[in-house]
Structure 1
Amino acid sequence: MSLTMTDKNKASQFKSGRNPRVRRNRIIGWLFIAPWAIGFLVFALYPFLSSLYYSFTSFDMLSPPKWIAFGNYGRLLHDPLFWRSLYNTLYYTIISVPVSTVLAIAVALLLNMKVHGQSIYRTIFYLPSVVPIVASSVLWLWLFNPSFGLINSFLRAVGLPAPGWLFSQLWVKPSLIIMGLWGLGAPIVIYLAALQGVPQELYEAAELEGCGRWRRIWHITVPMISPVILFNVIMGLINSFQYFTQAYVMTQGGPDNASLFYAVYLYRQAFQYLNFGYASAMAWLLFIVILAATVLVFRSSAKWVYYGGDR
Structure 2
Amino acid sequence: MKLNKMSLYRKRSMLGFFFIGPWLFGIIFFYMSPLIQSIKFSFSKLQIQSEGYSLLPVGFENFRSALFVEATFNRILTSSVWEMILSVPMILFFSLFSATLLNQKFRGRIVARAIFFLPVILASNAIASAEQSGLISLIGSATYVEEMQGSLSSYNVTSIVYMLLDIGIPLSYADYIVTAILQIYSIITSSGVQILIFLAALQSVPSSMYEVAKMEGATSYESFWKITFPMVSPLILTNIIYTIIDSFSGSPITNLIYSTAFETQNYGLSAAMSWIYTLVVTIFLAIIGVVLAKRIHYN
Common topology (TM > 0.5): yes
Q: 1:207 to 1:267 in 2, by over 3 A?
A: same
Residue 140 of structure 1 contacts residue 179 of structure 1 at CA under 8 Å; is this kept in 2?
no
Q: Which amino acid aligns with 2:242?
A: M
Closer, same or farther in 2 for the Cα pair 1:227/1:207, shift >3 Å? same
The question of whether the paired residues in 2 share the 8 Å contact of 1:57 and 1:66 is answered with yes
C-alpha contact 2:153 2:182 (8 A) present in aligned 1: no
Classify 1:126/1:278 alpha carbon distance in 2 versus 1 (closer, same or farther; 3 Å): same
- How far is 1:70 from its partner? 0.5
Map of 1:75 onto structure 2: 65
The yes-or-no answer on 1:47 pairing with 2:34 is: yes
* Counterpart among 175, 182, 188 of residue 181 in structure 1: 188
Which residue is 1:267 aligned to? 258
Scaled by the length of structure 2, the TM-score of the pair is 0.72
SS where residue 66 of structure 1 aligns?
strand
Q: Which residue of 1 aligns with 2:224?
A: 217
Root-mean-square deviation over aligned CA pairs: 3.1
Cα deviation for residue 235 of structure 1 reads 0.8
Partner of residue 236 from structure 1, selected from 240, 243, 250: 243
| Partner residue, 2:206 | 199
Distance 2:82 2:29 in 1: 35
Deviation string, structure 1 residues 131-160 (Cα, Å, up to 9, x no partner): 235359856631344xxx34556788xx64
> TM-score, normalised to structure 1's length?
0.69
Are the aligned partners of 1:76 and 1:82 in contact in 2 as well (CA < 8 Å)?
yes
C-alpha spacing 1:106/1:56, structure 2 compared with 1 (3 Å): same
The secondary structure found in structure 2 opposite 1:48 is helix
Equivalent AA in structure 1 for residue 142 of structure 2: L
CA contact 1:60–1:277 (8 Å) conserved in 2: no
SS in 2 for 1:64: strand
Distance 2:30 2:258 in 1: 19
Deviations 1:93-135 (A, max 9, x none): 1111111011000000000111111111111111221223535
SS of corresponding position for 2:74? helix
Aligned amino acid, residue 235 of structure 1: Y
Instruction: Say which one has the larger Rg.
Output: 1
Give how far 1:269 is off.
0.8
Q: CA deviation at 1:84?
A: 1.0
Determine which of 36, 45, 56 is the counterpart of 1:66: 56
Q: CA deviation at 1:211?
A: 2.2
- Give the whole-Å Cα distance in 1 for the aligned partners of 2:194 and 2:143: 26
Give the gaps of 5 or more residues in structure 2.
1-20, 132-136, 158-177
Matched, 1:108 2:96: no
Matched-pair contact (CA < 8 Å) for 1:223–1:305: yes
Return the structure number with greater helix share: 2
Is there any run of 5+ residues in structure 1 with no aligned partner, and where?
1-32, 162-170, 245-260
* Structure-2 separation of matches of 1:174 and 1:275: 40
Count of equivalent residues: 244
